[in-house]
Structure formats: structure tokens, C-alpha cells
Amino acid sequence: MIRTLTVFVAAALSATAQSDAGLDLWLRIREHVRASAVGLPNYSCQETMERSILSRAGQIEFRERLRLEVLFTETTELFAWPGSSEFTSEALESWIGAGAISNGDFAAEILNLFVVSAATVSYSGSDTFEQRPVLRFDFHMPLLSSRYSLSIQGKSATTPYSGSFWVDRESLDLIRLEMHAEQIPSDLDCREAHRSITYGQTTPGNGDRLLPSAAELTIVSRDGHASRNAIAFNNCHHYSSVSTLSFTEPSDSTLPAKSGPQRALPADVELALRLEEPISIAKSMAGDQITARLDKAVNAGGVLLPKGTRVLGRIRRLEQHLSSPPSILVGLQFFAAEAPDGLVAFSARLTGPRASPDVIKVVNNRMESVPGTVGLNIEEDGRRPGLGSFRVPGKELRVERGFRTVWKTQ
């Protein structure tokens, strides 16, 4: 059974050490990390997520890859689809179909532990990490100071947590942080929750900054299913005071930045589209931008779009469901057409070509089989207007260039 598992992590407030020597070293490290963390607000990176759910026997039952942009502000992390300027504080679980997901990986943990911390910190001595000499510290955050929140299937609980972090022995740069939840309430479908973040010094246009390079979240349910979310961070940018950004409430609009004023198509207009580039499990992922061409001209609401007009879209879901029988769920969204005088916006639902099953009819007291029609096994998604989803049997997928779909505007 696939579960939607979400972890939201924030933490807390000052630290103590077990000895004067350990305390002195901890204070030096904390000041060094604080200096590296200065200016983190208004940094953005691309997140590439690889999410999976494993059975109790360790077999993969679900797998998805997802690409997002994350922007760290002074108070929170905001998210956007790649190529969009509209960052939103919309909860991450609304972006996914199943599996584990988290926020706070980008910068929150640096600030929580090293800037405003209430954890007990102890020096554990020299260690090695990937053949690199490092110093290890262990920490514990008690329940009264914790803001570590587990949210699973509509139930939430705050727990204490413990973990370790490693710093370079010479530079004192933070390298890795690991943590795990403790005293998880029995009514929460979570037996274990582990999280790790690997950091690296980067220079995204405005001096050295300490940013994450990778993160991983693993949640084990009470029945032994494991949900895993592995994240790689890249393409980091610094947004200066002159950068143009839009911060919005959750929206289905994913129009590109600086697109200017748009006209819109009226409702109930049929759009026949042919895909411009292939989609495959091997090379594509949710979040990728796609394009199509109108297969028939459109003339509606004072808007004329000739055949061949380029239409902008995005892959919203690309999920492998590997339990028997295996299938792949594809979710596409198209949202704007490129008219000669600017973009024409629209929201549309997928209507065809829809597959129909074989039908048994009785003719002259004889049963006859009428073959069904070949098409898409469309799955309606009332939670996401403008998203067209269809399911394909099997473990592999390649949707070829020229693939034709039919949509109706809303």
C-alpha cells in the first residue's frame, strides 16, 4: 500500500558542551558556520528529487523523479517549477503523488543548529568522512525545545531528535549532518525517521556560501515499508535586490518569467496537440518543460491560433508503480499558446483519445464481441485542475514525438 508521508523539520535555540576544550571548539565551529551562513536568504538552487517506496522485502514498489526550484528567504523555503518565476509557499505534499518528502534541507538546519540552537552538543573526537579527516559532534534536541514535526496521513506529532554533524578538521567547514526522530507516538504510522544533509562551499555569484549538495530522508512505517527521498542540489543562484521574482499563493499557472500581459482562451475550446519532444522514464522527470504543436487551427473568443502554433507545457507526474500489475502514471499540463502578438493562456483537461473496453452484445440471440477502441486510460484528478493524467501498463515508457492528445479548455 502506497502512503503519502511528509516530514516538516525546523529546530530550535543554545548549546552546551561536556568540557572546556570541547566547548571552545564548538564555539569556534559555530561562529565559522554562522559566518558562512550569512546571506543565505535569497539564494536559489534546483532540487532533483528521487523518491521511492520499498516493500518489507526491500523491493521497489514506487519510484518517481522530480525537479523543482527552491528559494530560501529569511523566514521559509519557497518552491517553483523550473523556468517559472512564481515561487510559492504551497505545502510540498501537494506537489507529489506518494512517498516521503521534506523541506528545510536547503538552509533551515544550518540556522537551527548553529545560529539559534537549544541542542545539547558534545564533542566525539576525530573521524573520517570519505577519506577526509573530520571532527565529529553529537547533539540531542529535547522535546520541549524541538520543532521537529512528523506529518503522516493527516496526523502530526512533534518529537525530540538526536544526531551528529561532521566538520573539516582544518577549515572547520560543515560537511554533513545526520538526525533521527525519537519517541515517535504509537498512533503515528512511523517506526523510524532518518534524515541526512551533505554540505559544500559554493560561490554562486556573491562570495563563498555554505549550501547543501545532497540530502536524504527515509521513513519506515509500522508495517516495514520504507519511503525514501534523495535530493541533489545544483545550479545555485543569488538573487540581488534588482532581481525580479514573483511570490504567489498556490496556482496552476506556470507561465514563464517576463511573459508580459496574456490573453486567455474561453472555456470549452478543443485543442488537438502533437508532442514536440519524446517523454521517457529514462530521461524525463516531473517538472520538465515540454512543448506541443496545434494539430488543428483554433478560432475562439477573438483569438486565432493557426495549425502548428507552439504550445507550452510541463510534465507534472511521471510515476512508476511497480507492484503487480506494474504501470506508469503520466501527468501533463499545457497552459499557454505562442501567438504572434504574445502568449495566450488557458487551463485545459485531457479528454482523449480515450480508450474503451471490448463490449459483449447480444444480436439475434447470439453473443458477439465488439472490439474496444485504442486510446488513453485517462484518470481524472479533481485536486489539480489543468492536469491531464493517464496510466500506461508495464514498467517502461517512451512517448514518441508527434504523440497526439486532445484537450478541452476550462
* 65-99 tens-digit pLDDT: 999 888 877 667 788 888 887 788 776 766 666 66
What is the average pLDDT value for the chain, to the nearest integer?
Answer: 81
Whether residue 370 has pLDDT greater than 90: no
pTM comes to 0.80
**What is the fold of 4-248?**
outer membrane lipoprotein receptor (LolB), chain A (2.50.20)
What pLDDT is stored for residue 3 in this prediction?
Answer: 36
The CATH code that applies to domain 263-409 is 2.40.128
Query: What are the residue boundaries of the structural domains of the chain, listed by start?
Result: 4-248, 263-409
- Encode pLDDT of 269-321 as tens digits: 999 999 999 999 999 999 999 999 999 999 998 999 999 999 999 999 999 99
Residue of 161, 164, 167 lying closest to 210 (CA atoms): 167
> 127-152: string of b/e by CB count within 10 Å (b at 16+)?
eeeeeeebbbbbbbbeeebbbbebbb
pLDDT for position 163: 95
Look at 44 and 243; give whichever has higher pLDDT.
44
Tell me what pLDDT residue 394 has: 92
The CA-atom distances, in angstroms, between 239 and each of 26, 86, 202, 205 are 32, 14, 15, 9
Give CA separation, 5 vs 98, 105, 390, in Å: 7, 16, 23
Per-residue pLDDT tens for 235-278?
887 765 434 444 444 444 455 544 455 689 999 999 999 999 99
pLDDT of residue 309: 97
